[in-house]
A = this chain, B = another copy of it.
């Protein structure tokens, strides 16, 4: 019995350790996204470079967590509930890694933008979109950390606001392009950044859906969340 408890304590520790690695990865991703948005809006080429070159750290931790999950399953043969947690983690970190990729892309586009000569001055238009994306990402990670299904459902619903904001920004950028066709190439880079932000919102929504799946055991991934 004591051995049993000992094994179970060790198992819980391992499970907690994986969970805290996921939260650490979430923090790194959030940090990258924030920096990429600042770099873009302030046209800070150094910060953009930093973001573009730090993505490998996120990739590395994803691989580590996958490995830990596989080991945990093999060694501990977790029961249904824990298994669902582990599968949700494997899915969540895939989305986190993709968010890191999008932040990296924003960093790369920003580096190109700072080296282009066109004066576009449209970056402030992206700040509201950036704010909304940071908020949904932070809230999604928080819902995951606390396994808060109510919050997860609420947040997943706000992804639509991001799509609307993206549409608003697109319209402004298209109008600018029509008026200044010489800047089209530059403006396309700005649009790619807006697109990357919108994608980050989609991935944050996926994280929320995994929280619901995890807690409710019900797969809401492809249902309307409202």
A residues contacting B by CB (< 8 A) are 56, 59-60, 62-63, 66-67, 69-70, 73-74, 77, 79-80, 83-84, 87, 90-91, 94, 170, 174, 177-178, 181-182, 184-185, 188, 191, 195, 219, 221-222
A101's nearest neighbour on chain B, judged by CB, is: B202
Out of B60, B70, B91, B181, name the residue touching A178 (CB < 8 Å): B181
Given known pairs A77-B77, A174-B184, A188-B174, the reply for A70 and B56 (CB within 8 Å) is no
Query: A138 → chain B, closest Cβ, in Å?
Result: 23
Query: A222 → chain B, closest Cβ, in Å?
Result: 4
Out of B91, B182, B184, B222, name the residue touching A184 (CB < 8 Å): B184
Complex interface: chain B residues within 8 A of A79 (CB): 74
Interface pair A74/B83, CB less than 8 Å apart? yes
Instruction: Give the CA-CA distance A210 to B59 in the complex, in Å.
Output: 14
14 further A-B pairs in the complex, CB-CB below 8 A; given A73-B83, A177-B181: A59-B221, A59-B222, A67-B219, A70-B83, A90-B91, A91-B94, A174-B185, A174-B188, A177-B177, A177-B184, A178-B182, A178-B184, A181-B184, A195-B195
A56's nearest neighbour on chain B, judged by CB, is: B222
Query: A158 → chain B, closest Cβ, in Å?
Result: 20
Instruction: Give the CA-CA distance A150 to B73 in the complex, in Å.
Output: 29
Query: A53 → chain B, closest Cβ, in Å?
Result: 14
Complex interface: chain B residues within 8 A of A184 (CB): 174, 177-178, 181, 184
Query: A12 → chain B, closest Cβ, in Å?
Result: 18
Out of B69, B77, B80, name the residue touching A87 (CB < 8 Å): B69
A176's nearest neighbour on chain B, judged by CB, is: B184
Interface pair B222/A60, CB less than 8 Å apart? yes
Instruction: Give the CA-CA distance A206 to B141 in the complex, in Å.
Output: 24
